[in-house]
Chains A and B, each alone.
Chain A
């Protein structure tokens, strides 16, 4: 990607993530994240030139929520726009903020993602995206057991289930270190076999324990031009590149014919244009939008351009743990916290915190020079963001 000027992430703010944030309304919840991000960046609203807001249609049951949210987002009197690209919204916000700063239009941009799932109708929103005549009856919402079935088919029931549960428990162990995380269950590896049987089945072998939470929460990030970022922040996380790949609005549209996933296509393109030949070596950590531990497991292969069972081995050999050679989701990821409109942004925010060295208890031990974050939405939509320690 050709950039007019470099853009650095200089502030990250997150609200607490929880299943029900009854104590705050939407702008109040956003206010928590915005105030935290301003504090992290050491600036005030007066320094912000533009606010980018994102939401998921129908998920929070407010049309044009950015207008009401001005009370909490601080947008009064500022340039502003709202974007909505489904589950990828949070990562798209990062892309838009990057465009606004790198283009030279604005020096400091605040991006706000949020979710109040309990107030809206997620399944109504997701069902609505399919072709109303041919596919709407097929489109059911966020739950799908297909990936579990595919992984079991390919690698056998025992190995597949074990790997999926191990992935899940690693994520929970990470979440236990993250004070913002919604589900912190305190799982141990010896519970894996029990949980794989006792957790309520949702669809096929997709069980409750594998699936992401429904969370309320907000995330805010502050993007600054290279000049401002260097003046305001000791170690910004630089936005090196990002890519968006969207495709059809329903699963199975190709039948059983093999096809390249949007994840693999995005990764191939992004790595190629940034000269990344061995992502597992050249990228130091990965914050993945993993809606379930089946998807998280399966998608490692897609994002890291792996073949065969290499992705299973990464899990089996503890490579993806916070102390492993390729840490994945030290924050606990999406199975721990899923404030959907913010979730994809939280991936980038957490990756940025790792580079900035501000991740706190879930900071990975090794130096993070290059980090990858993914957003997921729709049926197979992808945003990939590449962050670096050195200004590109």
Chain B
């Protein structure tokens, strides 16, 4: 047998196949609810306890006529499956790429197909909670639901480590270079206009030989550690003790470290060891803190 394809013609042809489709009384009633009430309705098989959306007038299991058992379902639901349509052809409702999802509405047992918008294609996943967005202008078609969009998520309150999550040995730090501006602002904040911080000529005559930062300025760098990192947001500081070990000069880079050293079970407080060092690893200060870690917020 030869499979040579020389001198074999291909004849092109084209057939137009227009068609229409009857929605029927049941399908039409679903569309009318969408159009007139912006309500999504399904049909319930009372025997199987199953709600069909899209509606079907018979239950294929019981073979019963269920066409009068209308129930309303929620406009929200969960995506049980999806595909991303990337090819383009003239009959699509929106321009590709777009997401077509199977959405099981809350109160329904079967999923309905529709367009999902408002999710990056790469972030789309099954299990996404979505809600219907109704079209501004009705067409008495399934596109009276314009699309589904992700449910607006309630902004989740960020929270630091709770007492139970904290373990002895956990530590966190914050590092910052102390500038002349910081010192002058701190003078304004604290009202401490001591010339040893602000007057270079005065400072030259002190044991430090130049201006130094207020002691409380590097000390304050432990606040972002305790309040924002460990234990973090929601922490209440109960007590901080500090012993200053070395001065902080303008331009020094100070690292404040907090480490959990003790868990006080009775009060559910935590004791932390504090250390401040400079860029030369010299100990600038050390101390302890007693803190109340965040407790979970009520929903």
CB closest chain-A residue, reference B56? A71
Complex Cα spacing A214 to B181, Å: 91
With both chains docked as a complex, state the minimum distance between the C-beta of A58 and any C-beta of chain B, in angstroms: 7
- Interface-located stretch among A22-30, A358-366, A375-383: A22-30
Q: Is B63 an interface residue (CB 8 A)?
A: yes
- Bits for B100-140, please: 1 = Cβ < 8 Å to A, else 0: 00000000000000000000000000000000000000000
Q: Is A136 an interface residue (CB 8 A)?
A: yes
With both chains docked as a complex, state the minimum distance between the C-beta of A341 and any C-beta of chain B, in angstroms: 15
Residues of A within 8 A of B58 (CB): 27-28, 31, 71-72
Contact across chains for B25 and A23 when beta carbons are under 8 A apart: yes
Contact across chains for B57 and A28 when beta carbons are under 8 A apart: yes
Complex Cα spacing A343 to B65, Å: 26
CB closest chain-A residue, reference B23? A25
- Interface-located stretch among A117-125, A150-158, A241-249, A298-306: A117-125
| Range class of the B interface residue count | 20 to 34
Complex Cα spacing A68 to B60, Å: 10
> Could you tell me which residues of chain B, from 28 to 70, have a CB within 8 Å of some CB in chain A?
56-58, 60-61, 63, 65
Complex Cα spacing A205 to B187, Å: 111
- Bits for A222-235, please: 1 = Cβ < 8 Å to B, else 0: 00000000000000
Contact across chains for B15 and A28 when beta carbons are under 8 A apart: no
Complex Cα spacing A74 to B58, Å: 9
Contact across chains for B19 and A24 when beta carbons are under 8 A apart: no
Q: Is A20 an interface residue (CB 8 A)?
A: yes
Give the residue of A22, A71, A128 whose beta carbon is less than 8 angstroms from that of B60: A71
Known contacts A25-B27, A61-B17; A31/B57 CB under 8 A: yes
Complex Cα spacing A21 to B27, Å: 13
Give the residue of A72, A76, A133 whose beta carbon is less than 8 angstroms from that of B61: A76
Residues of A within 8 A of B19 (CB): 61, 119-121
With both chains docked as a complex, state the minimum distance between the C-beta of B134 and any C-beta of chain A, in angstroms: 24
With both chains docked as a complex, state the minimum distance between the C-beta of A244 and any C-beta of chain B, in angstroms: 28
> Could you tell me which residues of chain B, from 7 to 28, have a CB within 8 Å of some CB in chain A?
11, 13, 15-27
Complex Cα spacing A45 to B59, Å: 13
Where the two chains meet, the residues of A that have a C-beta atom closer than 8 Å to any C-beta of B are 20-25, 27-28, 31, 45, 58, 61, 70-72, 74, 76, 116, 118-121, 124, 127-128, 132-133, 136
10 contacts between A and B (CB under 8 A): A28-B24, A70-B60, A71-B56, A71-B60, A76-B60, A116-B22, A118-B22, A119-B19, A119-B21, A119-B22
